[in-house]
Amino acid sequence: MVNGIQVTGSMVQAYTVCPRQAWLASRQICPDEDNVYLALGRLVDQQSYGREKKEVRLGHLCLDLIRRGNKQLVVGEVKKSSRAQEAARLQLAFYLHELAAMGIKAEGELLFPEERRKERVVLDEAMSQQVAQVKTEITTLINKEQPPPPQKIKRCTKCAYAELCWA
């Protein structure tokens, strides 16, 4: 925790896509709630996997869903599409890393209901080191007084923070 700010899975996902977005989120600066892509993502999350245990909060973790697997706990991360799959994978790895630090062994599944597919994620040593590195980078970022300057990237067109960057 830095200055009362805890690194979260959403910050990890945002940082991977756009560090400015992670800085804004760390300050509880809310994105445009009327953004259609944000609303679609929430709808997909709410309407998918109805029989699973949904949105479980455990300290600073907000897990989309959990279930008991064959031998251990399975943590699911639901995404509208696989376009930001690497960011989603790192977010899920963050959850697995934090659960392991709490003594909870789990494996993960990235779930893309609109594409009818899933990807198994297991936290290995390399992924654990990557999560630790990203946590350090995010901590450095959120300690800065000012956000990074906006940089035009492909994802800006659908971003709920676009007005804060380009207005």
**pLDDT tens digits, residue range 48-87?**
655 565 778 888 898 888 888 788 899 998 888 888 899 9
Residue 135 confidence (pLDDT): 95
What pTM does this model have? 0.85
Average pLDDT, rounded, for the chain: 85
Q: What is the pLDDT of residues 9-39, one digit of tens each?
A: 999 999 999 999 999 889 888 776 676 666 5
- Is the predicted pLDDT of residue 165 greater than 60, yes or no? yes
- Is the predicted pLDDT of residue 46 greater than 70, yes or no? no
- Domain holding 20: CATH number? 3.90.320.10
87 falls within a domain? yes
41 falls within a domain? yes
- Is the predicted pLDDT of residue 100 greater than 60, yes or no? yes
**Which DSSP string corresponds to the chain?**
-BTTB---HHHHHHHHH-HHHHHHHHTT----TT-HHHHHHHHHHHHS-TTSEEEEEETTEEEEEEEE-SSSEEEEEE-S-STTHHHHHHHHHHHHHHHHHTT--EEEEEEEGGGTEEEEE---HHHHHHHHHHHHHHHHHHTSSSPPPP---GGGGG-TTHHHHH-
- Is the predicted pLDDT of residue 4 greater than 90, yes or no? no
3 falls within a domain? no
The number of distinct structural domains making up the chain is 1
Q: What is the pLDDT of residues 119-154, one digit of tens each?
A: 999 999 999 999 999 999 999 999 999 999 988 888
Domain hosting residue 136, numbered range: 9-166
1 falls within a domain? no
